[in-house]
Structures are given as structure tokens and as C-alpha cells.
């Protein structure tokens, strides 16, 4: 993200692997936090410069972001499994368990292949059975009634 992206709107366009663009929704809480962060950046920069910076004022690398997450999870008492990748996985799982469809999650994650999304987002068997029972004509409770 660039400084010129702030203030954020309801969505942000992300440029991912293979220079593929995708649109991702931004929660109001996150918009507010990024606005506050942008006001506190101690380094000068033009609208086209990186928004997230290292302590030296350079664009933050993925490794620096992982290190920051590692330090924060220790300070917050979170498990070692709390990683940027785990947050991505949780995001996808929450969307699916909340009724989202696999194709939408595929688009949000920027996966080229649906099979990648399927292996990435495990749905609990109980959720699958509940969906089957409520939606399939041969289920125990068709049409949710």
C-alpha cells in the first residue's frame, strides 16, 4: 500500500502474485487504525511511497512484517501458531463458516485455482453436515424448515 491510498475506502485493490489484482473489503476498524498510523509516520514521503515502513524508514519487507508479528504475539501472549499465514487461513475459514461460498473466498485470497482454495480452507465436518441437512432435498431438514 502507498501513502496516497490513505484514507482508505470500503475496499482496497491488492496486487498479488503474478501481478494479479484483486479487490479486498476493508473493515471500518482497520480503516481507522491505518488512518491513525499514517498520521504518526515519523518519515516524510510522497503519495507514491510505501505506507508501511521499517524502523529505518524503508519499505517494510515481508520478513520484517513476520518479525513484527512474532514480537507482538509474544507480548500479547498468543500462540506461536499466530502468524500472518494463520490470519489469512482464519479469514478464509470464517468467511466459509459464515455462509460464504468457495468461489468468493478464492477471489478474496487471489487463488488462480479453486483446488488451492479447497486445500487451504478446511471446513469442519459438522458445518458440512449442517449445510447438507438444511439444503439438500434428501437431507433431514430440507429448506431449513
| Contact of 14 with 25, CB cutoff 8 Å | no
- Among residues 69, 72, 124, 73, which one has the least CA distance to residue 98? 124
| Contact of 26 with 11, CB cutoff 8 Å | yes
For the CA atoms of 116, 117, 123, 127, the dihedral, rounded to the nearest 10 degrees, stands at -130
- Among residues 124, 105, 127, which one has the least CA distance to residue 116? 105
pLDDT in tens, the chain (145 residues): 899 999 999 999 888 777 888 888 999 999 999 999 999 988 888 999 999 998 888 999 989 988 999 999 989 998 988 888 888 888 888 888 788 888 998 888 888 888 888 876 666 666 777 878 888 887 776 555 5
pTM greater than 0.75: no
Amino acid at each position: 500500500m502507498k501513502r496516497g491510498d490513505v484514507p482508505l475506502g470500503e475496499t482496497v485493490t491488492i496486487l498479488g502474485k503474478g501481478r494479479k489484482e484483486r479487490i479486498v473489503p476493508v473493515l471500518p476498524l482497520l480503516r481507522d487504525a491505518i488512518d491513525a498510523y499514517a498520521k504518526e509516520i515519523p518519515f516524510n514521503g510522497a503519495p507514491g511511497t510505501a505506507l508501511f515502513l521499517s524502523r529505518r524508514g524503508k519499505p517494510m519487507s515481508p520478513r520484517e512484517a513476520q518479525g513484527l508479528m512474532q514480537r507482538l504475539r509474544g507480548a500479547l501472549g498468543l500462540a506461536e501458531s499466530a502468524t500472518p499465514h494463520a490470519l489469512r487461513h482464519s479469514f478464509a475459514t470464517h468467511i466459509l463458516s459464515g455462509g460464504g461460498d468457495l468461489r468468493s473466498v478464492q477471489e478474496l485470497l487471489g487463488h488462480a485455482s479453486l483446488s488451492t482454495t479447497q486445500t487451504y480452507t478446511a471446513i469442519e465436518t459438522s458445518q458440512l453436515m449442517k449445510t447438507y441437512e438444511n439444503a439438500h432435498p434428501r437431507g433431514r431438514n430440507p429448506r431449513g424448515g
